Chains A and B, each alone.
Chain A
């Protein structure tokens, strides 16, 4: 039983690690950090396997969200550490300048490439929500737009994105 589990998990890793690594990389923009997070993510998947509820979603969705959450946590602690080194009290995270959305160090592939097809305002919101992990309320406060507008725009953006996924 034990050996079968391990073998099955190795297959899981081989099949999905690339997909997850990609997402992690797009959030963190740092190969070293991304490697660490990927490792952490798979170990967590292994440990939490009995918590996974297949009724709520597919296995990949569950794994993807573990990966995304771990990446955002790491991003936040990294940015926090960086902003402590800076003089300014305002963290780097709060200020999103135009052009920030597309980072240069990692090729814009996958979701990010698709993001470029969106309108600026839509892209901005998706970036804040998906890649930076802000809640709708936080985005409304950051962008100075009503909460309702945030939700509508994100919804529209996702519908658009979905068309591009196919």
Chain B
């Protein structure tokens, strides 16, 4: 009984004792007697508490309207049913959201990669297109040339070079000579790539004298190259000179053509 009053009894024993008190009034009376002794003893041994505590307590009391208002200090024992199911739902939603996040991120990655692939594809296509355009232009130019009645075509071949002097007898180039304006156009069909520091040069042979008609680089596309004007010539030839050309032909002759 003393254990119960002093708060030392466990739940089971406590409940049992409470039952006894209900069924046996003498037990209850004994309990009350002990409680009274305890109270008197405690009061006799009271220690005055600091005055500030009294003020603080009464202030806090004033905030709660009525005695026994447990709402403010409701202990966090557990969640009420509806709160619990709300919390459970929130957790499920959160997990669901996280899963969706992962899924969408993967989708995004895929799309991003596909996009990058498309981009590089497109870049390639654009380059290709530019190339085709250039070739088309070149072809159109050739057609225009060929349909020009004033245009004279001179075929320059490697095997036409005397004494088999051409380093590459399969070389070939065409000269398009506008007899009216005297413009000269050159089209390379086959010439070996010159070594570094070297450049091809076109010559027009006039009365036995070679006249410089201009230097040229290997064209990227099979296009016409505009050379210097030639008023008169019996022969056209291409030699390989040092870069920048030469006043007189010194290097090997690759192609030759009679007008």
Contacts and interface: CB of A to CB of B under 8 A. Distances in A.
A153 B109 CA distance: 73
Interface in A19-38: 19-23, 25, 31, 34-35, 38
A23 B39 CA distance: 12
B46 A22 contact: yes
A135 interface: yes
A57 interface: yes
Contact of A49 (B37, B38, B46, B68): B68
A155 to B, nearest CB: 7
Given A57-B5, A69-B7, A51 B58 contact: no
A51 B35 contact: no
Contacts of A14: 54
B195 interface: no
B180 interface: no
Interface residues of A, number: 57
A158 B2 contact: yes
Interface string A124-143: 00000110000110000000
B143 interface: no
A19 B43 contact: yes
Given A6-B61, A22-B42, A35-B52, A135 B10 contact: yes
A122 to B, nearest CB: 13
Given A13-B54, A48-B70, A162-B2, A35 B38 contact: no
Interface residues of B, number: 45
Contact of B3 (A13, A39, A158, A166): A158
B57 A43 contact: yes
A38 B181 CA distance: 118
B70 A50 contact: yes
A70 B61 CA distance: 18
A165 interface: yes
Interface in A79-114: 109-111
A51 B42 CA distance: 23
Interface in B12-30: 18, 21-22
Please indicate which of the listed interface residues A9, A13, A18, A61 has the most CB atoms of chain B within 10 Å of its own CB: A61
Interface of B: 2-3, 5-8, 10, 18, 21-22, 31-32, 34-39, 41-43, 45-50, 52-54, 56-58, 60-62, 64-70, 72-73
Q: Which 4 A-B pairs have the closest CB atoms?
A: A18-B46, A50-B68, A110-B45, A19-B42
